Amino acid sequence: MQSGKMRKQGLSGKRHAGHGGGHGAVRVTTEREVRVGVFRQPAMQTPVLVLNASYEPINICGARRALVLVLKGVARTEEEQGAVLHAARMRVAMPSVIRLLEYRRIPHQTRALSRKNILLRDRNSCQYCSVILTAGELTLDHVIPRSRGGLSTWENLVACCHNCNRRKGNQMLHELTDMKLQREPRPFSLHTSRHIMRMIGSADAAWRKYLYFEAEPAA
């Protein structure tokens, strides 16, 4: 295997011509056919870790999307789930980790503001009393209440238990003596992103070597 070492000039947007055959290597019909064949399988929703060409973890996507990237020759499977997909005239090992064949420059990673992502950022822990609950037992609290002009932003939304949410009501934090935030809510950073990948990937041993950098040489 020829693993191209990433150098700085590789980031400039210029890319080396791919070695011939990269795209034709996987003989699969069409993306459409793949989608039709696999759409309803539950394994399709399994999270897949996406690595940059440099092996740096950059994202998580659903197995269906990962499979499409592999079948299109954009990525290759680094680790398999163990499940094999049988679709029209096709047997494909379901990926657990894929790697992009060409290095992609990743801009500031922004994640969609969603209930799920807020809970992940806050580690399913009420940001006022620190109790850890399941996602279903938590709600989102606007730190500055909406009725007082608070916006739905990363900085103004936190995971919150129903008790704290009731107690806080429409009050501002500075009006309350017995409630305060455990930590300042922040938007996603690369660090948070890694943290989330670790949380999601903790169930999948195959991800660990990509998410924890035990063997990382001193920079």
- Name the site residues for Zn ion (rule: CB under 5 A): 126, 128-129, 161, 164
CB contact at 8 A, 2 and 53: no
Q: How far is the CB of 164 from Zn ion (least distance, A)?
A: 3
At position 125, the amino acid (one-letter code) is S
Q: How far is the CB of 167 from Zn ion (least distance, A)?
A: 8
Which of residues 120 and 161 has its CB atom nearest to Zn ion in the complex?
A: 161
Which of residues 113 and 129 has its CB atom nearest to Zn ion in the complex?
A: 129
Which of residues 70 and 161 has its CB atom nearest to Zn ion in the complex?
A: 161
Which of residues 92 and 164 has its CB atom nearest to Zn ion in the complex?
A: 164
65: Cβ–Cβ under 8 A, 6 or more apart, which residues? 48
Q: How far is the CB of 122 from Zn ion (least distance, A)?
A: 11
Q: How far is the CB of 142 from Zn ion (least distance, A)?
A: 15
Instruction: Using alpha carbons, select from 128, 127, 170, 181 the residue that is nearest to residue 145.
Output: 170
CB contact at 8 A, 125 and 131: yes
Taking 3-state DSSP, the helix, strand and coil percentages for the chain, each rounded to the nearest 5, stand at 30, 20, 45
